[in-house]
Amino acid sequence: MDMSKLNSLPKEDIVKMAELCHLDTTRSTAHLVKELTTIFKQVEEKKNRYTRISQLGAKGKEGTVFLVANRTGAQYAMKTFASTKSDRNLEKEAVLLGKAAEFHISPPLIEYDLHDNFIVMEKLEGNLFDYLRDHKGKMPTRMQKEMIDIFKTLDRIQIFHADPNPLNFMFDAKGKLKIIDFGFAKAIDDKLAREHDTREVNMRFMPLGFLLKMRDLVPPTNFPYLLKHVAEEDQVHVLNIAPPPPNPPVSSSSKTTKSIKRKVVIAKEPTKDKARESTKDKARESTKDKTKESTKDKTKESTKDKTKQSTKDRAKESTKDKTKESTKTKEKKTRKARSKKV
Ligand X SMILES: Nc1ncnc2c1ncn2[C@@H]1O[C@H](COP(=O)(O)OP(=O)(O)OP(=O)(O)O)[C@@H](O)[C@H]1O
Minimum distance from residue 300 beta carbon to Mg ion (Å): 12
> In 3-state terms, what secondary structure has residue 112?
strand
Nearest residue to 219 via CA among 173, 159, 288, 139? 288
The entry of Mg ion, ligand X, none that residue 56 binds, CB within 5 to 8 Å by partner kind: ligand X
Sole binder of ligand X in the list 57, 193, 233, 265 (CB under 6 A): 57
Minimum distance from residue 89 beta carbon to ligand X (Å): 9
Told to check if 164 binds ligand X by CB under 6 A, we report no
Residue nearest Mg ion, CB atom distance: 181
Phi, psi torsion values for 314, nearest 5 degrees: -60, -45
Q: What is the DSSP letter of 323?
A: H
**What is the rounded distance in angstroms from the CA atom of residue 164 to the CA atom of residue 277?**
27
Nearer to ligand X, 240 or 307 (CB): 307
Outline where DSSP puts E strands in 21-107.
Answer: 51-56, 63-69, 75-81
Q: Identify any residues that bridge with 56 across adjacent strands, giving them in sequence order.
A: 65
Told to check if 93 binds Mg ion by CB under 5 A, we report no
Nearer to ligand X, 144 or 311 (CB): 311
Nearer to ligand X, 62 or 200 (CB): 62
Phi, psi torsion values for 113, nearest 5 degrees: -135, 115
**What is the rounded distance in angstroms from the CA atom of residue 49 to the CA atom of residue 72?**
10
Q: Identify any residues that bridge with 52 across adjacent strands, giving them in sequence order.
A: 68
Told to check if 168 binds ligand X by CB under 6 A, we report yes
The entry of ligand X, Mg ion, none that residue 111 binds, CB within 5 to 8 Å by partner kind: none
The count of residues interacting with Mg ion (CB under 5 A) is 2
Minimum distance from residue 312 beta carbon to ligand X (Å): 13
Nearer to ligand X, 68 or 283 (CB): 68
50 and 69 in contact (C-beta within 8 Å)? Answer: yes
Sole binder of ligand X in the list 23, 40, 62, 104 (CB under 6 A): 62
**What is the rounded distance in angstroms from the CA atom of residue 250 to the CA atom of residue 213?**
39
Among residue numbers 173 through 192, which ones bind Mg ion (CB under 5 A)? 181
The count of residues interacting with ligand X (CB under 6 A) is 18
Q: Angle between the 254-293 and 311-341 helix axes, to the nearest 10 degrees? A: 150
Q: Identify any residues that bridge with 231 across adjacent strands, giving them in sequence order.
A: none
Minimum distance from residue 173 beta carbon to ligand X (Å): 11
Interface map 66-105 toward ligand X (x if CB under 6 A): -----------x-x--------------------------
The entry of Mg ion, ligand X, none that residue 61 binds, CB within 5 to 8 Å by partner kind: ligand X
Stretch that binds Mg ion, among 93-101, 141-149, 162-170, 329-337 (CB under 5 A): 162-170
Told to check if 127 binds ligand X by CB under 6 A, we report yes
Nearer to Mg ion, 109 or 227 (CB): 109
Distances (CA, A) of 293 to 167, 283, 290, 297: 20, 15, 5, 11
254 and 180 in contact (C-beta within 8 Å)? Answer: no
Stretch that binds ligand X, among 12-20, 57-65, 131-139, 217-225 (CB under 6 A): 57-65
Distances (CA, A) of 158 to 46, 199, 207: 33, 8, 17
Q: Identify any residues that bridge with 67 across adjacent strands, giving them in sequence order.
A: 54, 77
**Residues within the interface to Mg ion (CB under 5 A):** 168, 181
Residues binding ligand X (CB under 6 A): 56-57, 60-62, 65, 77, 79, 107, 121, 123-124, 127, 167-168, 180-181, 183
